[in-house]
């Protein structure tokens, strides 16, 4: 599967530069990245988006780097013999497991390169999931316009996650993106918080799972 998909990918190789980072910070970033990958892979299939699939692949590569750093840090700091090695074993297993899950999620997202119509089939069950992914339109006079997406605190204040912003034909994933009129917010959450957010963005359309 990977060989056929690579024909469609145009990725620039970048040189990996080592930067010292603590085990705690490595694991924290891996957890954050894999959570985001779940949402992006889900969204790539739902919307049939190759752009979101590409973003999923970028994160997969970063998790590979973090896995390497995790193993390197353990190798460099492990001086306590067999007993210390056994104590660190769960961390190694955790890092390896996250790395394998990232491979699977990237493969799922890249299905859109093989069949971009996969979203037509998957629409049959999106409204059955506990936290569906929906589109919310940012209308004129919405109070969020001009705000940095980080400053909105979607999860803590509104009970939802902002996965991405669609602006015209472009998908925006940067945490520092400024919300603009006409943006489409790709949101994951339970129905009641989604309804409240739609009121805030002045989006009066019915919730759609399409």
Q: Where in the chain are the domains?
A: 16-114, 128-200
Domain 16-114 fold is Methane Monooxygenase Hydroxylase; Chain G, domain 1 (1.20.58)
DSSP calls for 42-56:
HHHHHHT-HHHHHHH
Say which CATH topology domain 128-200 has: Alpha-Beta Plaits (3.30.70)
CA angle in degrees (0–180, nearest 5) for 20-23-28 = 110
Q: Using CB atoms within 10 Å of the CB of residue 165, give its burial: 0 to 12 exposed, 13 to 18 middle, 19+ buried.
A: buried
**pLDDT tens across the length of the chain (210 residues):** 444 444 444 444 555 566 678 888 999 999 999 999 999 998 998 888 899 999 999 999 999 999 999 988 887 766 666 666 677 788 889 999 999 999 999 999 999 888 767 766 666 666 667 788 889 999 999 999 999 999 999 999 999 999 999 999 899 999 899 999 999 999 999 989 999 999 999 999 887 655
Say whether pTM exceeds 0.95.
no
Phi, psi of 165 (to 5 degrees): -120, 130
Are the beta carbons of 200 and 143 closer than 8 angstroms?
A: yes
Q: Token digits for 107?
A: 């493969």
| pLDDT at position 106 | 95
């Amino acid at each position: 599967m990977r060989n056929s998909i690579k024909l469609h990918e145009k990725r620039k190789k970048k040189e990996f530069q080592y930067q010292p980072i603590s085990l705690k910070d490595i694991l924290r970033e891996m957890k954050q990245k894999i959570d985001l990958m779940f949402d992006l892979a889900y969204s790539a299939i739902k919307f049939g988006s190759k752009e979101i699939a590409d973003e999923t692949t970028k994160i997969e590569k970063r998790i590979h780097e973090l896995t390497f750093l995790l193993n390197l840090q353990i190798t460099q700091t492990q001086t306590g013999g067999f007993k210390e090695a056994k104590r660190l074993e769960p961390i190694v297993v955790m890092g390896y497991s996250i790395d394998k899950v990232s491979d699977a999620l990237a493969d799922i997202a890249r299905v859109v390169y093989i069949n971009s119509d996969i979203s037509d089939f998957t629409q049959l069950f999106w409204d059955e999931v506990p936290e569906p992914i929906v589109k919310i339109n940012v209308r004129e006079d919405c109070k969020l316009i001009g705000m940095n997406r980080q400053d909105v605190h979607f999860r803590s204040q509104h009970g939802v996650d902002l996965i991405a912003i669609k602006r015209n034909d472009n998908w925006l994933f940067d945490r520092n993106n400024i919300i603009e009129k006409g943006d489409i917010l790709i949101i994951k959450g339970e129905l009641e918080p989604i309804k409240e957010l739609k009121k805030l963005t002045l989006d009066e359309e019915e919730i759609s799972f399409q």
